[in-house]
Structure 1
């Protein structure tokens, strides 16, 4: 029954798109856009209003921005974003890196043109309803954010990316990031904020963005942590390290960052970092057994299958 009702709704939605009407989608927005309230009082009603795309990717930044009371923060459901984008995809279409090409193929160009034609009106109406002053994203390559950011700038609503993928380690990793960004053409938003100078350098070197449109300003959600540390230092507070020993191991996927390996968890266990993955996790577990007075934590990026791989 759900499949039938969803199909009927999709037909109606496509009909509204064909006649250029945004009314059904603006009505839906009440369910998919909510405010991120400050944890310590109310925000000034005259503060600029931000709309965050793919909000679960911000990892605490939205709450930090809301708690600053310098912004009114709203977030839109990424599922709704994906659903809106999919309304313009032909049957069987798979979104890939080629979507970002400066000279896309005929099929992608058609999708982009039809999406942008409708989004020009849809986003104008949506932002007017919620009085949005600026749109923010968490990463430059999230496909569900791409057209929202692109069209936002077209209608003079700034699109700023607080880019979260900034841990660039060795030289090989740096070169890979530069090559990755080169595939995306030119940044279509207004500004990018990264955590560190190395990340900024990779962005500029790739040609994806000019140095005038990117800044390295640190990580928003770390501000309160730094303030608390500085406060302890200023009052001469001390931490009893004997009672707070902790070691954290950041887990990794067996196929992460490997060219020619198409999956981060290859089904073929002869591919990727199979031995390295097993030996490092076992060694860490053994350290935990040998040192019961120390807390050992394995930090996985996701749950589910990742945890099963570790177990």
Structure 2
């Protein structure tokens, strides 16, 4: 019975993907597109449409584009995109994809797999052209070049005459990790060669990784800076950051730091302590909790990127290290609900490791403490970013006790302990400090759309 169901499901998919149904599916998809923020776009006077895939993953950058006054951002539910992909990699083929993994399947040289991908691309060319016509979409964007769900859409959009631009958001490449990341881009099974129209990156470090690895040709990748930082740098120029409150924020990290990979550690945490910055994680988080206990009149926040697996690990570690349940520390919480910039605005001190958040905190003039001890000065010393900015931009903690000491020093200081006004770190990692990164991205989109129009004329 199970085999019969699989065969019937495959038969339905085969029928559904016939060309005769493309106009119907395109109209359905066009009706399901959602305006990112229609009020914002209308207020800005935007009247041209772009389609953003995976919108939840780069919302701040999309918000800037949506409010620029040129393009309205429309989004597609990932479930609908996955359903469209399943027309070709579902059913019996889907079983093969599950066994291999989507990325391995898409990169496979096996003729039977290549035939499926070729058919999917030919179908998507027609479907994308129809969707764009139905919804007046002029370009498609996504936030990285290596999402499996977008891979065939890139090349199909190109062939369909629709610009597919990747607004690449994973650009935190310290000089210490560039050789390793270049190697991972070139050989790692999760990465694809770029098949879209253009790729924007925040900085030269990321561009170097991509070009040197062969992921993308130099003429296709453009350094535009980081759109979401435009507001930050404009506030900096206008001295527009508020005075901090009695708050300290720790932007949490996991055991796998600085580009470390381990297929056994899907959560990023090593249970047996055999890989990653295990002791650094434990001691830095425990010291943060101890500092909270000693200062009950201050608010202490630990912010992971997400709660699942991560928050329980933080709570377990603190209990094991200092024997106190985090629930019993009334002024300490693990929270993902408050945006990073809001926490930075409210915080007198920020703690973090290898994160854009610590650079954003420096833009806001906050003191930042970076824990650099245990594995950070041992087996994973080469995985620690920003070393050339230590002591000028960042306070460096050499132990858990020293971390507590530095946090308290910054808490009690009337002015920032470190008040370096040099822009080097901002330019290296965010590309530009002029507040015009969104303008560069919008200009690139307009240029690519115009080129496609001229090419099809």
TM-score, normalised to structure 2, is 0.59
* Counterpart in the other structure of 2:216: 209
How far apart in 2 are the matches of 1:304 and 1:31?
Answer: 33
How many Å apart are 1:130 and its aligned residue?
0.7
Q: State whether residues 13 and 88 of structure 2, in contact with CA within 8 Å, keep that contact through their aligned partners in structure 1.
A: no
Pick closer, same or farther for the CA change 1:104–1:180 going to 2, 3 Å. Answer: farther
Structure 1 residue corresponding to 2:243, chosen from 230, 240, 243: 240
* Counterpart in the other structure of 2:272: 269
How far apart in 1 are the matches of 2:167 and 2:299?
Answer: 32
Structure 2 residue corresponding to 1:158, chosen from 153, 159, 163: 163
Question: RMSD of aligned C-alpha atoms?
Answer: 3.0
What does residue range 15-54 of structure 1 map to in structure 2 within 5 Å? 15-30=15-30, 32-40=32-40, 42=42, 47-54=47-54
Structure 1 residue corresponding to 2:148, chosen from 143, 162, 166: 143
Structure 2 residue corresponding to 1:285, chosen from 279, 285, 289: 289
Matched residues, number? 300
Structure 2 residue corresponding to 1:194, chosen from 196, 201, 224: 201
Moved more, 40-49 or 75-84: 40-49
How many Å apart are 1:47 and its aligned residue?
3.8
Moved more, 72-81 or 268-277: 268-277
How far apart in 2 are the matches of 1:41 and 1:255?
Answer: 38
How many Å apart are 1:299 and its aligned residue?
2.2
* Counterpart in the other structure of 2:308: 304
Q: State whether residues 46 and 69 of structure 2, in contact with CA within 8 Å, keep that contact through their aligned partners in structure 1.
A: no
Q: State whether residues 46 and 66 of structure 2, in contact with CA within 8 Å, keep that contact through their aligned partners in structure 1.
A: no
Secondary structure, aligned partner of 1:303 = coil
How far apart in 1 are the matches of 2:20 and 2:252?
Answer: 48
How far apart in 2 are the matches of 1:53 and 1:270?
Answer: 37
Moved more, 16-25 or 159-168: 16-25
Structure 1 residue corresponding to 2:186, chosen from 159, 182, 185: 182
How many Å apart are 1:58 and its aligned residue?
1.0
How many Å apart are 1:100 and its aligned residue?
5.4
How far apart in 2 are the matches of 1:145 and 1:244?
Answer: 44
- Higher Cα Rg: structure 1 or 2? 2
How many Å apart are 1:161 and its aligned residue?
0.6
How far apart in 1 are the matches of 2:223 and 2:47?
Answer: 24
* Counterpart in the other structure of 2:118: 113
How many Å apart are 1:250 and its aligned residue?
2.8
What does residue range 45-84 of structure 1 map to in structure 2 within 5 Å? 47-84=47-84
2:259 corresponds to 1:252: no
How far apart in 1 are the matches of 2:219 and 2:41?
Answer: 36
Pick closer, same or farther for the CA change 1:152–1:299 going to 2, 3 Å. Answer: same
Structure 1 residue corresponding to 2:227, chosen from 220, 226, 229: 220
Pick closer, same or farther for the CA change 1:230–1:256 going to 2, 3 Å. Answer: closer
Higher RCO (C-alpha 8 Å, min separation 6): 2
Q: State whether residues 150 and 189 of structure 1, in contact with CA within 8 Å, keep that contact through their aligned partners in structure 2.
A: yes
Secondary structure, aligned partner of 1:42 = helix
Moved more, 80-89 or 269-278: 269-278
Pick closer, same or farther for the CA change 1:14–1:292 going to 2, 3 Å. Answer: farther
How far apart in 2 are the matches of 1:192 and 1:58?
Answer: 15
How far apart in 2 are the matches of 1:207 and 1:27?
Answer: 38
Secondary structure, aligned partner of 1:134 = strand
* Counterpart in the other structure of 2:14: 14
Unaligned runs of 5+ in 1: none
Output one character per residue of 1:96-141: Cα deviation in whole Å (capped at 9) or x when no partner. Answer: 443454x733243122112112112111111110111111110110
2:87 corresponds to 1:87: yes
Q: State whether residues 20 and 118 of structure 1, in contact with CA within 8 Å, keep that contact through their aligned partners in structure 2.
A: no
